[in-house]
Structure formats: C-alpha cells, structure tokens
Chain A
C-alpha cells in the first residue's frame, strides 16, 4: 500500500485551468472574433461545432455557476420583473436575468451567442428558452429535435430523424462559415470523445468499492463538467486520466469523501446549487455517501455502454443525443435506478425533487411509490430547487433527512450493521 498521496487535487487543478481558459476565451470572443455557439448539455454536438470554429457556451452551466456563487437570486428576480412567472424554470430565468444585465456574472462578462443550437434532448423548456434568446439577439436558431426514448428498442425512424437533422446542421454550418466539414478532424475528435466516455464510465464504476473513493453526486457533479464541456478534445482525456489516478490512490489508501462511510445511497435529481454545501452538510453527519446519481448522466448515459464511434460519425452522434438521462422515459429511468441500487450495493434512494425542472421531477413521486412499496428500497423524498434560492428550507430538510437516516440506522443496527449518527 502506498503511504503518501501523489495525485490528490490534480484533477481539480487541471479542471480549474481548463475552465479559466474557457471562460477567458468567451470573455475575449468579441475581440478575437471567436464565434460562440450556445448549446444544451444533453447530447450536445460539441465535436461538430468545434469543427467549424465555434467555441461552445452552455447557459445551463452559467446558471449552475450563478447558483453556486449565490448570484442566481437577482437574475431570477430580474426575469420575473420582465414577465416570467414564479412557476417557470429558474435556469431559464437566471439566463434571461443575465441577458438583461449584459451577461455580467461571477465569471466575468459571459459571451453572447452568434448561433443557437437547440439540441432538445429531454426537455421541452429548452425550446422556449432558445426562442427567447433568438428573439433578443436576432441570431440564427437551429432546432435539433430529439425524440423521447421509451422502450429498449429505439425505432429506426427516430434515429434517422436525428441523423437527418445533423446533416441539415452541417449544411447550415457550411453555409454560415463558408467552410466544409473536416471529416478527418471530426473522426479524431469523436475518438477523443469515446476515450473520454470510457474513462468517465470507469470513474463512475469506482464507486462500487467499499468505501467508495468519491461521492457520486456531490463530487461527480464537478467531475462531469469536463465531459460535458470539453468532450471531443485531448485535454478532456488527460483530465480523466488524472482524476482516475487520484481516485485509485484514494482506493489504495481506503479513503473516501468523508471520514467514515456508513450509508450508501443512490441520488435521483439535480442538486440545489444555491445551497449546495449546506445540502451536503445535512448528509455528512450520517456517514452518507452517494454511490450513483442520475444527475451526473444528464449529458449522456455513457455508463450504460454508449460510445461515440469515429467509424460511424453521424449515426453515433445521433444515437448519443438520444441517450441523455432526461430523455429516457420514466420506466427506463426506474429500471436504471434499480440497477444502480444493486450494482453499487446501495442502502437507500434519495430523491431530490426540484420545482424548476418538470423534466426531472414529474414522475419522481411515482418513483418513490415504486421504490418504497414495491422494490422495498428505503426512499427519502425531499424538495427544493436547483436554481432558485427561495425554495430551500434548511430546517425542514434537516428534519426530514435526520428522521430518515435515523430510522435507517435503527434498521441497520437491528440487522447488525454499523451505526452512529450525529
């Protein structure tokens, strides 16, 4: 066994460098004449847009960053003053709020779009969001509509429909930029994408270890940034190599994200970004470690075996777009969570329901019914929001979380397991 740590923090340092450079490119985009394409995370056509010289920007990530840096509240209120209801998605309102404030954000001034690609995989709100931006900026909008995946067999016409739209997008990009698609580069980038996906899947699977070397919710949501933003680049591959070393080193030392892992959970639903740290703190005293989460699959379900394939570039991109978590039907989501519980040897399921995101949350209460009553998996259901700081009730959440893990601990003790809450 190793006695010294050599790799801890390496991933974080590299990620910071990559993100800082990415934000700097966006901030200087006007001066450097770097065209900016706005895309969504789930099944985004990263490799294709870079092929035509676009830098990518993800307003969802901006919303997340504003949330975590406690800047979302004023943005949301600005959007509500503009006419948005208190009942619609806070991510959208955060972005509209930024737009109305000339994109001033904690990351500096964010780039405005030159091109909007609405890769609509898994959320109907995406369309309304990009429609609003298209109107405000008067820039081209391309809607890449991705059918909802229902069964295990995806009908051929649905894949063909996405594929045909990708071809249309390529034609549009060729017209817009005056450049032809560089197929050799696309294949190279898709090969990087596949390598990244492979490493990311290996990383997620490390949580099968006892104790898990990382938290697959509270930490994985940061690890996932690189596959979502930089997928299709060599740097993304290098990043995951570094993180894998770091996590394997933790395994060698038998350490995990908290001093002692007592309860292993699967988490369904996005984090409450504006209260991220305090939410995590509510679980830590109970020794809770998340070993699999669904939120870390919103960009793509690569852990389920899907890979981009340079030998089938367009087809595999189309397939990838279909397999974003929120684009999977509830029965498929239910089966996936069930498989996570078994594969990662979890004791319980935590469902975090957020008001903003109907795409995630409608059906979660029914999932609770299934897991609690039929699958007999102890299930905790808590509610707040992923963007709007006003919906986080600390005391109420603490009561529910404490009550749940206390009762779970009693059950474990009764079965002879480890115990010891706060």
Chain B
C-alpha cells in the first residue's frame, strides 16, 4: 500500500474504523478506502495502554497502537462513525495524536428511518464527500460516485452469491475462506474486490470437497473487533458449519442494491439505501422486536440448528444485544445457543474448543 501510494504522489488513502463506512463514498471522492480492523495478534501494546484503560475493547487499543508506532502514517485521513462511545471518543484521541491526518467523524442517524433521517444523512454524506474530495484534490463532481455505487452494487451481489454457495455447500467453502474473501475487501478497491470474488465463485464451481457431519450454526456478535482466524477454524473443526455470521459486518453490506437512476443524485441514493435498506445492526438503534426478528430471520435463512454468540470482550453493543437475543431464544425454547467471549489478540483456544465440542455434542445427541 505504501509503495502504491509512493508511485503516484496524487494518491490519497482514507482509513476507516469499523463497523460501517460507506466505501462508495470514499472511492467516489477519489481516495482509496483502507479498512482497519485492529492489530489482531500481531501488535504488542507499547504506547496505547497509557492512552486507553484496560476495560476498553482490544480493537480500539491496537488500532491506536498501530497509529502510534507509525504503521498508519500513510493515511491522509481517518474515518469514524458513531457505532459506540469507544469509537466515537477514539476519533477525538486520533485527532489529537495524528494532527497530520484529517479525522472525519460521521454521525449516522439513530432516529428511525424516515424523511427527517434521510434529509439529514444526505447532507452528512455530502459533507464527508466534500471533505474527502478536497483531500483527494478531486473536485466535487459526482461521476466517480456513480461508478463507485455501481461497483458497490456488484460487490453486494457477488458477496450474496458467495454466501448462498457457502450456505448450501459449506464443505466447499469453509467459514475461514469465506471470511478471508470478505476481509480482503478492506484492502482493495471495490472493483478489485469484485474481481477477486468473481474468480472465487468461478473456482468454486469445480470444487468437490466431500461433505462431513456437522451441525449448522450461525455466529453473532463479532461485527467489529474480529476473532483470530484460529477461532473460526476451531468452530468448524469442532463439528460446526457456520452458515450465517455477522463477522466484519461493515464489509458485508445487506444485499439490497443502492437504487440510483440515470442522472439521479448518488448521495441521495446512498443515504436512502443506508436509511431504509442497510438492515439491522447492533450499532444502530432498532426496536427490540426488530432485533429479535433479525435473529430469527438469520436462523431461518441459514436453516441453523444453533447459535454461537461470539462477543468481543468489553464490546458494549454486542453485550447489550446479547441479552435481547438470549432472552428471545430462551422464550422460544427451540434453538440451543452458547456464548463465547474473545479478544483479537487471544492465542490459546483449548478451553473454547472444549466448550464448542460439548455444544455440538449436546445438539447431536439430544
């Protein structure tokens, strides 16, 4: 990425913190959107610990650490949204520690979808677009936005197709493979990602891995901080087919396309899509019934036999929604569930493996 940027001094990179960042908006303003999902297991905290208390989620600390050790100095701007108070306040910490980068904070509306919300969001998106376009020296024309939205729509479609394949033949496309394909989207343009996804879909047509026994589960709760890959592998090794998930939620937008008519206003189309069609998320207000409907919808769509809650330690949005989900499942009394807590930098999994195996057995043998 650094090299790519050095090849052309005009190139601009906008980093974004999960969960949701409108990649179309960043690309459409002429910058490269680089998704940051923390430091995983790679980063030792040397400086961030003195700036973030120990009761705060790991992703916020490792992301800050990456900045403080100079790993992110290629960024021209950093994009945050109001997913939670941690991310919101991290934007302020960013602002002070990295004054050479522009910190962009977008307040996504929490008021229920409607004209008030839409009108506001069109303007917020417009403001963010102008800011990034200015950084990118790109003028404020909307043509690149049209192109980015078309690429974004194709991305949604390809991801939906991949997920469909994964759901119907999870032995042919494992969860870690599906997840990595999704995560690659954070490191490339929408068009490049589309190419990668299309190639993967093509190759999958010839895949003939033999099915094995496994229970079908969905995984909920790891929409922002990401679990180590070993943990996802462990789920499958322990006898699960994870056929629905909310991992890296922002990189896997709802499949409904952004509807943009010829000559239409792309910012309005993007805002309309986010307001009305971007789905239920833990980091967005929803009436409790809607959250329950979302969970049962996921279970039904995946024909899941169980739910694994995979909550990032200290992640408040996940931990609050867990109560809603857990109580709904208990009331319904048909779908077993288990709860795991993880940290991105975790490196031992034996306990978790045992818990998952016990869960799988309890479903298989009752």
Interface residues of A (CB under 8 A from B): 82-85, 87-89, 92, 120, 123-125, 127-128, 131-132, 134-135, 141, 143-145, 147-148, 150, 155, 157-158, 160-161, 164-165, 168, 329-331, 333-334, 353, 355, 358-359, 361-366, 369-370, 383
A155: which B residues are within 8 A, CB to CB? 123, 127
B189-224 interface code vs A (CB 8 A; 1 in, 0 out): 000000000000000000000000000000000000
Contact across chains for A83 and B51 when beta carbons are under 8 A apart:
no
CA distance A155 to B124 in the complex (A): 9
Find A157's partner among B93, B97, B120 (CB 8 Å cutoff). Answer: B120
**Which residue in chain A gives the minimum CB-CB distance to B330?**
A83
CA distance A144 to B116 in the complex (A): 11
Contact across chains for A362 and B288 when beta carbons are under 8 A apart:
no
CA distance A100 to B289 in the complex (A): 20
Given A143-B285, A155-B127, A365-B52, answer yes or no on A132-B95 (Cβ-Cβ < 8 Å): no
Contact across chains for B314 and A87 when beta carbons are under 8 A apart:
yes
Contact across chains for A127 and B285 when beta carbons are under 8 A apart:
yes
CA distance A155 to B313 in the complex (A): 35
Contact across chains for A363 and B105 when beta carbons are under 8 A apart:
no
Contact across chains for A353 and B53 when beta carbons are under 8 A apart:
yes
CA distance A236 to B85 in the complex (A): 32
B110: which A residues are within 8 A, CB to CB? 120, 127, 143, 145
B95: which A residues are within 8 A, CB to CB? 329-331
Query: Is B365 among interface residues, defined by CB-CB distance under 8 A?
Result: no
Interface residues of B (CB under 8 A from A): 50-53, 55-56, 60, 82-86, 88-93, 95-97, 105, 107, 109-112, 116, 119-120, 123-124, 127, 283, 285-289, 291, 311, 313-314, 316-317, 319-324, 326-327
User: How distant is B49 from chain A, measured CB to nearest CB, in Å?
Assistant: 9
Contact across chains for B116 and A362 when beta carbons are under 8 A apart:
no
Best-surrounded residue of A89, A144, A358, A364 (most CB of chain B within 10 A): A358
CA distance A331 to B97 in the complex (A): 11
B109: which A residues are within 8 A, CB to CB? 145, 161
User: How distant is B117 from chain A, measured CB to nearest CB, in Å?
Assistant: 8
Given A83-B327, A355-B55, answer yes or no on A330-B319 (Cβ-Cβ < 8 Å): no
Contact across chains for B96 and A83 when beta carbons are under 8 A apart:
no
Interface of A is mostly: helix
Contact across chains for A124 and B52 when beta carbons are under 8 A apart:
no
CA distance A125 to B316 in the complex (A): 8
Contact across chains for A329 and B91 when beta carbons are under 8 A apart:
yes
CA distance A370 to B95 in the complex (A): 12
User: How distant is B349 from chain A, measured CB to nearest CB, in Å?
Assistant: 21
CA distance A127 to B355 in the complex (A): 32
Contact across chains for B320 and A145 when beta carbons are under 8 A apart:
no
User: How distant is A86 from chain B, measured CB to nearest CB, in Å?
Assistant: 9
B320: which A residues are within 8 A, CB to CB? 84, 88, 92, 125, 128, 132
CA distance A369 to B50 in the complex (A): 8
Contact across chains for A362 and B56 when beta carbons are under 8 A apart:
yes
Contact across chains for A366 and B323 when beta carbons are under 8 A apart:
no
Besides the known contacts A158-B107, A366-B93, 16 further A-B residue pairs in the complex with CB atoms under 8 A apart: A87-B55, A87-B316, A92-B320, A131-B288, A132-B324, A143-B285, A148-B88, A157-B123, A161-B119, A165-B111, A330-B93, A330-B95, A330-B96, A358-B86, A362-B56, A365-B53
Contact across chains for A363 and B313 when beta carbons are under 8 A apart:
no
Best-surrounded residue of B107, B119, B291 (most CB of chain A within 10 A): B107
User: How distant is B97 from chain A, measured CB to nearest CB, in Å?
Assistant: 7
User: How distant is A249 from chain B, measured CB to nearest CB, in Å?
Assistant: 41
Contact across chains for A362 and B90 when beta carbons are under 8 A apart:
yes
Question: Can you list 14 A-B pairs with a CB-CB distance of less than 8 A?
Answer: A124-B84, A127-B285, A131-B287, A131-B288, A134-B287, A160-B119, A164-B116, A165-B116, A362-B52, A362-B85, A362-B86, A364-B53, A365-B51, A366-B97
CA distance A120 to B111 in the complex (A): 10
Given A145-B110, A366-B96, answer yes or no on A358-B120 (Cβ-Cβ < 8 Å): no
A84: which B residues are within 8 A, CB to CB? 319-320, 323
Contact across chains for A359 and B85 when beta carbons are under 8 A apart:
yes
A131: which B residues are within 8 A, CB to CB? 285-288, 291, 324
Find B107's partner among A82, A89, A143, A147 (CB 8 Å cutoff). Answer: A147
A92: which B residues are within 8 A, CB to CB? 320
Contact across chains for B84 and A358 when beta carbons are under 8 A apart:
yes
Find B322's partner among A83, A141, A329 (CB 8 Å cutoff). Answer: A83
A135: which B residues are within 8 A, CB to CB? 287-289, 324
CA distance A358 to B52 in the complex (A): 11
CA distance A128 to B86 in the complex (A): 15
B92: which A residues are within 8 A, CB to CB? 329-331, 333, 363, 366
Given A89-B316, A143-B285, A148-B82, answer yes or no on A358-B89 (Cβ-Cβ < 8 Å): yes
Contact across chains for B105 and A329 when beta carbons are under 8 A apart:
yes
User: How distant is A132 from chain B, measured CB to nearest CB, in Å?
Assistant: 7
CA distance A147 to B128 in the complex (A): 14
A364: which B residues are within 8 A, CB to CB? 53
User: How distant is A422 from chain B, measured CB to nearest CB, in Å?
Assistant: 29
CA distance A333 to B91 in the complex (A): 13
CA distance A333 to B123 in the complex (A): 26
CA distance A144 to B96 in the complex (A): 30
**Which residue in chain A gives the minimum CB-CB distance to B313?**
A87
CA distance A276 to B231 in the complex (A): 43
Contact across chains for A164 and B89 when beta carbons are under 8 A apart:
no
Contact across chains for A143 and B112 when beta carbons are under 8 A apart:
yes
Find A82's partner among B53, B84, B323 (CB 8 Å cutoff). Answer: B323
Contact across chains for B123 and A124 when beta carbons are under 8 A apart:
no
Contact across chains for B60 and A362 when beta carbons are under 8 A apart:
yes
Find A83's partner among B286, B313, B323 (CB 8 Å cutoff). Answer: B323
A359: which B residues are within 8 A, CB to CB? 85, 88-89
7 nearest A-B pairs in the assembled complex, by CB-CB distance: A330-B92, A135-B288, A157-B123, A128-B320, A161-B120, A362-B89, A147-B107
**Which residue in chain B gives the minimum CB-CB distance to A133?**
B288
**Which residue in chain A gives the minimum CB-CB distance to B105?**
A150
Contact across chains for B51 and A88 when beta carbons are under 8 A apart:
no
A123: which B residues are within 8 A, CB to CB? 85
**Which residue in chain B gives the minimum CB-CB distance to A359?**
B85
Contact across chains for B319 and A88 when beta carbons are under 8 A apart:
yes
Contact across chains for A88 and B316 when beta carbons are under 8 A apart:
yes
Given A135-B289, A150-B105, answer yes or no on A124-B53 (Cβ-Cβ < 8 Å): no
CA distance A247 to B331 in the complex (A): 56
CA distance A157 to B123 in the complex (A): 7
User: How distant is B283 from chain A, measured CB to nearest CB, in Å?
Assistant: 8
Contact across chains for A148 and B120 when beta carbons are under 8 A apart:
no
Contact across chains for A83 and B326 when beta carbons are under 8 A apart:
yes
CA distance A183 to B8 in the complex (A): 61
User: How distant is B294 from chain A, measured CB to nearest CB, in Å?
Assistant: 13
CA distance A83 to B56 in the complex (A): 20
Best-surrounded residue of B111, B127, B283, B316 (most CB of chain A within 10 A): B111
Contact across chains for B285 and A358 when beta carbons are under 8 A apart:
no
CA distance A369 to B68 in the complex (A): 13
Contact across chains for B324 and A365 when beta carbons are under 8 A apart:
no
CA distance A334 to B92 in the complex (A): 10
Best-surrounded residue of A82, A147, A334 (most CB of chain B within 10 A): A147
User: How distant is A268 from chain B, measured CB to nearest CB, in Å?
Assistant: 13
